[in-house]
Amino acid sequence: MNGQLKQSLYILLSMWIAIGLMGCSKGKSDEPIANKELRSEQPGADEAVEKSADQDALIQKFNTVVSSAKEASDIVSFLNENMNKAGQNNADQMVRELYTFYSKDLERSQQAFFADDVQKVLTEMDWPITSANAASIPDDAIRQLVVTKLSGGYKLVWVEGSIYPIVDYSSQQIYSTYLSKPLNSYIALKAAESSEPAAMDAGLVVSWNELSNRAIMAETFLRDYPESPEYQEVEDLYLDRYLSMYLKGLPNTPIANSETLKVVPEVKASYVKITSENPDTVTAKMADRLLYILAASKDVVLIQGPSGKRLLPEVEQFQKNYRTAAKSLL
Protein backbone atom coordinates (compact mmCIF):
# COMPACT_ATOMS: atom_id res chain seq x y z
CA MET A 1 0.00 0.00 0.00
CA ASN A 2 2.84 2.39 0.81
CA GLY A 3 4.42 1.57 -2.60
CA GLN A 4 1.18 2.31 -4.42
CA LEU A 5 0.86 5.68 -2.63
CA LYS A 6 4.37 6.65 -3.67
CA GLN A 7 3.65 5.68 -7.28
CA SER A 8 0.45 7.75 -7.28
CA LEU A 9 2.23 10.76 -5.86
CA TYR A 10 5.00 10.41 -8.48
CA ILE A 11 2.44 10.34 -11.33
CA LEU A 12 0.62 13.36 -9.90
CA LEU A 13 3.89 15.33 -9.54
CA SER A 14 4.86 14.50 -13.13
CA MET A 15 1.52 15.82 -14.37
CA TRP A 16 2.01 19.10 -12.46
CA ILE A 17 5.48 19.60 -13.99
CA ALA A 18 4.17 18.92 -17.52
CA ILE A 19 1.31 21.37 -17.06
CA GLY A 20 3.77 23.98 -15.76
CA LEU A 21 6.08 23.55 -18.76
CA MET A 22 3.15 23.85 -21.14
CA GLY A 23 2.19 27.12 -19.44
CA CYS A 24 5.72 28.51 -19.84
CA SER A 25 5.82 27.49 -23.48
CA LYS A 26 2.48 29.17 -24.10
CA GLY A 27 3.69 32.34 -22.34
CA LYS A 28 6.67 32.60 -24.68
CA SER A 29 4.73 32.02 -27.87
CA ASP A 30 1.74 34.26 -27.19
CA GLU A 31 2.85 37.84 -27.90
CA PRO A 32 0.83 40.53 -26.05
CA ILE A 33 -1.86 42.09 -28.21
CA ALA A 34 -0.41 45.58 -27.65
CA ASN A 35 2.97 44.46 -29.02
CA LYS A 36 1.34 42.84 -32.03
CA GLU A 37 -0.57 46.03 -32.80
CA LEU A 38 2.56 48.16 -32.41
CA ARG A 39 4.53 45.87 -34.71
CA SER A 40 1.76 45.90 -37.30
CA GLU A 41 1.94 49.71 -37.43
CA GLN A 42 5.66 49.74 -38.25
CA PRO A 43 6.58 49.86 -41.97
CA GLY A 44 7.34 46.46 -43.41
CA ALA A 45 10.23 45.53 -45.63
CA ASP A 46 8.17 46.05 -48.77
CA GLU A 47 7.13 49.53 -47.66
CA ALA A 48 10.75 50.47 -46.83
CA VAL A 49 11.91 49.30 -50.25
CA GLU A 50 9.13 51.27 -51.92
CA LYS A 51 10.06 54.40 -49.95
CA SER A 52 13.72 54.03 -50.89
CA ALA A 53 12.77 53.64 -54.56
CA ASP A 54 10.61 56.77 -54.39
CA GLN A 55 13.49 58.75 -52.90
CA ASP A 56 15.90 57.48 -55.55
CA ALA A 57 13.45 58.60 -58.23
CA LEU A 58 13.14 61.96 -56.52
CA ILE A 59 16.91 62.47 -56.54
CA GLN A 60 17.04 61.56 -60.23
CA LYS A 61 14.42 64.20 -60.96
CA PHE A 62 16.32 66.69 -58.83
CA ASN A 63 19.57 66.00 -60.69
CA THR A 64 17.76 66.62 -63.96
CA VAL A 65 16.47 69.94 -62.63
CA VAL A 66 19.94 70.98 -61.48
CA SER A 67 21.61 70.03 -64.76
CA SER A 68 19.15 72.12 -66.76
CA ALA A 69 18.66 74.99 -64.29
CA LYS A 70 19.20 78.47 -65.68
CA GLU A 71 18.33 80.20 -62.43
CA ALA A 72 18.52 79.29 -58.75
CA SER A 73 14.74 79.73 -58.66
CA ASP A 74 14.41 76.51 -60.70
CA ILE A 75 16.13 74.56 -57.93
CA VAL A 76 14.44 76.39 -55.07
CA SER A 77 11.02 75.69 -56.56
CA PHE A 78 11.79 71.96 -56.65
CA LEU A 79 13.04 72.01 -53.06
CA ASN A 80 9.94 73.79 -51.81
CA GLU A 81 7.70 71.18 -53.41
CA ASN A 82 9.68 68.04 -52.55
CA MET A 83 11.83 68.56 -49.46
CA ASN A 84 9.34 66.78 -47.21
CA LYS A 85 9.65 63.61 -49.33
CA ALA A 86 13.43 63.43 -49.55
CA GLY A 87 14.69 61.98 -46.26
CA GLN A 88 17.49 63.66 -44.31
CA ASN A 89 20.48 62.48 -46.32
CA ASN A 90 18.88 63.42 -49.62
CA ALA A 91 17.66 66.72 -48.21
CA ASP A 92 21.23 67.58 -47.18
CA GLN A 93 22.47 66.60 -50.61
CA MET A 94 19.90 68.76 -52.40
CA VAL A 95 20.64 71.86 -50.34
CA ARG A 96 24.37 71.42 -50.90
CA GLU A 97 23.70 71.18 -54.64
CA LEU A 98 21.86 74.49 -54.39
CA TYR A 99 24.93 76.02 -52.73
CA THR A 100 27.12 74.65 -55.50
CA PHE A 101 24.83 76.38 -58.00
CA TYR A 102 25.11 79.64 -56.04
CA SER A 103 28.90 79.45 -56.09
CA LYS A 104 28.85 79.30 -59.88
CA ASP A 105 25.97 81.71 -60.42
CA LEU A 106 26.60 84.49 -57.91
CA GLU A 107 29.08 86.48 -59.98
CA ARG A 108 26.88 86.28 -63.09
CA SER A 109 23.85 87.37 -61.10
CA GLN A 110 25.70 90.33 -59.59
CA GLN A 111 27.05 91.46 -62.95
CA ALA A 112 23.49 91.54 -64.32
CA PHE A 113 22.71 94.35 -61.87
CA PHE A 114 25.36 96.59 -63.40
CA ALA A 115 23.93 96.39 -66.91
CA ASP A 116 22.10 99.26 -68.64
CA ASP A 117 19.99 101.36 -66.24
CA VAL A 118 19.53 98.76 -63.49
CA GLN A 119 21.36 100.73 -60.79
CA LYS A 120 19.58 103.98 -61.66
CA VAL A 121 16.13 102.39 -61.51
CA LEU A 122 16.78 100.47 -58.30
CA THR A 123 18.37 103.34 -56.38
CA GLU A 124 15.19 105.32 -56.99
CA MET A 125 13.09 102.60 -55.35
CA ASP A 126 12.06 102.51 -51.70
CA TRP A 127 14.60 100.53 -49.71
CA PRO A 128 14.84 97.65 -48.99
CA ILE A 129 13.71 96.04 -52.22
CA THR A 130 11.97 92.77 -51.39
CA SER A 131 9.40 90.48 -52.99
CA ALA A 132 6.75 92.72 -51.39
CA ASN A 133 7.62 95.81 -53.42
CA ALA A 134 9.52 94.38 -56.40
CA ALA A 135 6.30 94.27 -58.40
CA SER A 136 6.27 98.09 -58.42
CA ILE A 137 9.54 98.35 -60.37
CA PRO A 138 8.49 100.27 -63.50
CA ASP A 139 10.88 98.67 -66.01
CA ASP A 140 9.67 95.22 -67.13
CA ALA A 141 13.11 93.70 -67.71
CA ILE A 142 14.53 95.01 -64.45
CA ARG A 143 11.45 93.91 -62.54
CA GLN A 144 11.77 90.40 -63.97
CA LEU A 145 15.47 90.33 -63.09
CA VAL A 146 14.81 91.29 -59.48
CA VAL A 147 11.83 88.96 -59.02
CA THR A 148 13.76 86.01 -60.49
CA LYS A 149 16.74 86.54 -58.18
CA LEU A 150 14.60 87.02 -55.08
CA SER A 151 12.60 83.85 -55.80
CA GLY A 152 15.89 81.99 -56.16
CA GLY A 153 17.01 82.65 -52.60
CA TYR A 154 18.99 85.83 -53.21
CA LYS A 155 18.51 89.14 -51.41
CA LEU A 156 19.52 92.61 -52.50
CA VAL A 157 22.09 94.64 -50.56
CA TRP A 158 23.19 98.24 -51.00
CA VAL A 159 26.94 98.56 -50.51
CA GLU A 160 29.11 101.57 -51.36
CA GLY A 161 26.38 103.09 -53.52
CA SER A 162 25.61 99.93 -55.52
CA ILE A 163 22.75 97.44 -55.31
CA TYR A 164 23.37 93.77 -56.07
CA PRO A 165 22.30 90.30 -54.89
CA ILE A 166 23.88 88.03 -52.30
CA VAL A 167 22.73 84.61 -51.12
CA ASP A 168 20.06 84.91 -48.44
CA TYR A 169 20.92 81.92 -46.29
CA SER A 170 18.08 82.65 -43.90
CA SER A 171 15.70 81.61 -46.68
CA GLN A 172 16.93 78.02 -46.34
CA GLN A 173 16.03 77.88 -42.66
CA ILE A 174 12.52 76.85 -43.69
CA TYR A 175 14.05 73.44 -44.46
CA SER A 176 15.47 72.98 -40.95
CA THR A 177 13.06 70.16 -40.04
CA TYR A 178 14.40 68.03 -42.88
CA LEU A 179 18.14 68.69 -42.55
CA SER A 180 20.90 67.28 -40.36
CA LYS A 181 22.21 69.16 -37.32
CA PRO A 182 25.59 69.98 -38.94
CA LEU A 183 23.96 71.49 -42.02
CA ASN A 184 21.42 73.41 -39.93
CA SER A 185 24.28 74.82 -37.84
CA TYR A 186 26.13 75.84 -40.99
CA ILE A 187 23.05 77.56 -42.39
CA ALA A 188 22.50 79.40 -39.10
CA LEU A 189 26.09 80.65 -39.20
CA LYS A 190 25.78 81.81 -42.80
CA ALA A 191 22.34 83.29 -42.19
CA ALA A 192 23.67 85.49 -39.40
CA GLU A 193 26.21 86.92 -41.82
CA SER A 194 23.83 87.37 -44.76
CA SER A 195 21.19 88.98 -42.53
CA GLU A 196 23.70 91.39 -40.96
CA PRO A 197 27.27 91.30 -42.25
CA ALA A 198 29.81 91.70 -39.47
CA ALA A 199 31.73 94.27 -41.51
CA MET A 200 31.25 96.49 -44.55
CA ASP A 201 33.30 99.24 -46.14
CA ALA A 202 36.39 98.20 -44.15
CA GLY A 203 34.63 98.77 -40.85
CA LEU A 204 32.62 96.81 -38.31
CA VAL A 205 28.84 96.93 -38.63
CA VAL A 206 28.18 94.91 -35.46
CA SER A 207 29.45 95.51 -31.93
CA TRP A 208 32.67 93.97 -30.64
CA ASN A 209 30.64 91.66 -28.42
CA GLU A 210 28.51 90.51 -31.34
CA LEU A 211 31.70 89.90 -33.33
CA SER A 212 33.00 87.70 -30.53
CA ASN A 213 29.67 85.83 -30.54
CA ARG A 214 30.02 85.20 -34.28
CA ALA A 215 33.55 83.91 -33.70
CA ILE A 216 32.39 81.52 -30.98
CA MET A 217 29.50 80.37 -33.17
CA ALA A 218 31.96 79.42 -35.92
CA GLU A 219 34.37 77.88 -33.43
CA THR A 220 31.58 75.76 -31.94
CA PHE A 221 30.74 74.41 -35.39
CA LEU A 222 34.38 73.42 -35.89
CA ARG A 223 34.45 71.65 -32.54
CA ASP A 224 31.14 69.82 -32.97
CA TYR A 225 31.32 68.84 -36.64
CA PRO A 226 34.92 68.12 -37.66
CA GLU A 227 33.75 65.74 -40.40
CA SER A 228 31.37 68.21 -42.02
CA PRO A 229 31.92 68.99 -45.72
CA GLU A 230 31.67 72.66 -44.71
CA TYR A 231 34.47 72.41 -42.14
CA GLN A 232 37.19 74.09 -44.21
CA GLU A 233 34.94 76.95 -45.25
CA VAL A 234 33.92 77.61 -41.65
CA GLU A 235 37.52 77.35 -40.47
CA ASP A 236 38.52 80.05 -42.97
CA LEU A 237 35.55 82.17 -41.93
CA TYR A 238 36.56 81.82 -38.29
CA LEU A 239 40.31 82.39 -38.63
CA ASP A 240 40.48 84.86 -41.51
CA ARG A 241 37.39 86.92 -40.88
CA TYR A 242 35.91 86.82 -37.39
CA LEU A 243 39.01 86.16 -35.30
CA SER A 244 41.18 88.37 -37.49
CA MET A 245 38.81 91.32 -37.13
CA TYR A 246 38.42 90.69 -33.41
CA LEU A 247 42.14 90.67 -32.64
CA LYS A 248 43.44 93.06 -35.29
CA GLY A 249 40.54 95.37 -36.01
CA LEU A 250 39.79 96.94 -39.40
CA PRO A 251 41.04 100.10 -41.12
CA ASN A 252 37.84 101.97 -40.23
CA THR A 253 37.38 100.22 -36.88
CA PRO A 254 40.84 99.84 -35.30
CA ILE A 255 41.45 98.27 -31.90
CA ALA A 256 43.62 101.25 -30.85
CA ASN A 257 42.87 104.93 -30.43
CA SER A 258 45.23 106.85 -32.72
CA GLU A 259 45.38 109.78 -30.30
CA THR A 260 45.92 107.99 -26.99
CA LEU A 261 47.83 105.12 -28.66
CA LYS A 262 45.97 102.79 -26.29
CA VAL A 263 43.46 100.01 -26.84
CA VAL A 264 39.89 101.23 -27.39
CA PRO A 265 38.04 100.73 -24.07
CA GLU A 266 35.12 98.94 -25.76
CA VAL A 267 37.54 96.48 -27.35
CA LYS A 268 39.29 95.72 -24.08
CA ALA A 269 35.96 95.35 -22.30
CA SER A 270 34.91 92.78 -24.89
CA TYR A 271 38.16 90.84 -24.42
CA VAL A 272 37.63 90.80 -20.65
CA LYS A 273 34.01 89.73 -21.08
CA ILE A 274 34.76 86.80 -23.35
CA THR A 275 37.62 85.51 -21.21
CA SER A 276 35.31 85.62 -18.21
CA GLU A 277 32.20 84.11 -19.79
CA ASN A 278 33.74 81.66 -22.28
CA PRO A 279 37.21 80.88 -20.92
CA ASP A 280 37.51 77.47 -22.58
CA THR A 281 37.03 78.75 -26.13
CA VAL A 282 39.91 79.37 -28.53
CA THR A 283 38.59 82.90 -29.08
CA ALA A 284 38.82 83.65 -25.37
CA LYS A 285 42.29 82.12 -25.07
CA MET A 286 43.56 84.29 -27.90
CA ALA A 287 41.96 87.38 -26.39
CA ASP A 288 43.55 86.52 -23.05
CA ARG A 289 47.00 86.39 -24.66
CA LEU A 290 46.47 89.86 -26.06
CA LEU A 291 45.24 91.09 -22.67
CA TYR A 292 48.47 89.78 -21.14
CA ILE A 293 50.47 91.92 -23.57
CA LEU A 294 48.26 94.93 -22.86
CA ALA A 295 48.69 94.49 -19.12
CA ALA A 296 52.46 94.72 -19.53
CA SER A 297 52.23 97.74 -21.85
CA LYS A 298 49.58 99.51 -19.74
CA ASP A 299 47.11 99.21 -22.63
CA VAL A 300 49.46 100.78 -25.17
CA VAL A 301 48.97 99.31 -28.66
CA LEU A 302 50.71 101.93 -30.83
CA ILE A 303 54.01 103.74 -30.46
CA GLN A 304 55.14 106.96 -32.09
CA GLY A 305 58.25 106.52 -34.21
CA PRO A 306 60.30 108.73 -36.55
CA SER A 307 58.15 107.67 -39.52
CA GLY A 308 54.82 107.83 -37.68
CA LYS A 309 52.70 105.54 -35.55
CA ARG A 310 53.24 101.80 -35.62
CA LEU A 311 52.20 98.78 -33.62
CA LEU A 312 53.96 97.97 -30.38
CA PRO A 313 56.43 95.17 -31.32
CA GLU A 314 54.78 92.69 -28.95
CA VAL A 315 51.34 93.43 -30.42
CA GLU A 316 52.71 93.27 -33.95
CA GLN A 317 54.25 89.86 -33.30
CA PHE A 318 51.03 88.60 -31.72
CA GLN A 319 48.94 89.71 -34.69
CA LYS A 320 51.42 88.25 -37.14
CA ASN A 321 51.21 84.80 -35.55
CA TYR A 322 47.60 84.77 -34.36
CA ARG A 323 46.33 82.42 -37.09
CA THR A 324 48.93 79.71 -36.51
CA ALA A 325 48.45 79.96 -32.75
CA ALA A 326 44.65 79.80 -32.97
CA LYS A 327 44.63 76.89 -35.40
CA SER A 328 46.87 74.89 -33.08
CA LEU A 329 44.23 75.32 -30.36
CA LEU A 330 41.28 74.16 -32.45
Mind listing the pLDDT tens digit for each residue in 168-220? 999 999 999 999 999 999 999 999 999 999 999 899 999 999 999 999 999 99
| Mean pLDDT in residue range 50-67 | 90
Q: What is the pLDDT at residue 204? A: 97
pLDDT digits (tens, 9 = 90+) for 271-302: 999 999 999 999 999 999 999 999 999 999 99
User: Rounded to the nearest 5°, which phi and psi values hold at 129?
Assistant: -95, 115
pLDDT digits (tens, 9 = 90+) for 230-265: 999 999 999 999 999 999 999 999 999 999 999 999
* Mean of per-residue pLDDT scores for the chain: 89
| Mean pLDDT in residue range 94-105 | 98
Name the pTM for this structure: 0.82
What are the boundaries of each domain within the chain? Answer: 72-186, 196-330
- Asked whether the predicted pLDDT for residue 128 surpasses 70, the reply is yes
**Smallest Cα–Cα separation from 119: which of 161, 151, 167, 71?**
161
pLDDT band at residue 44 under the 50/70/90 scheme = low
In 279-309, which positions are buried (b, 16+ CB within 10 angstroms) versus exposed (e)? eebbbbbbbebbbebbeebebbbbeeeeeee
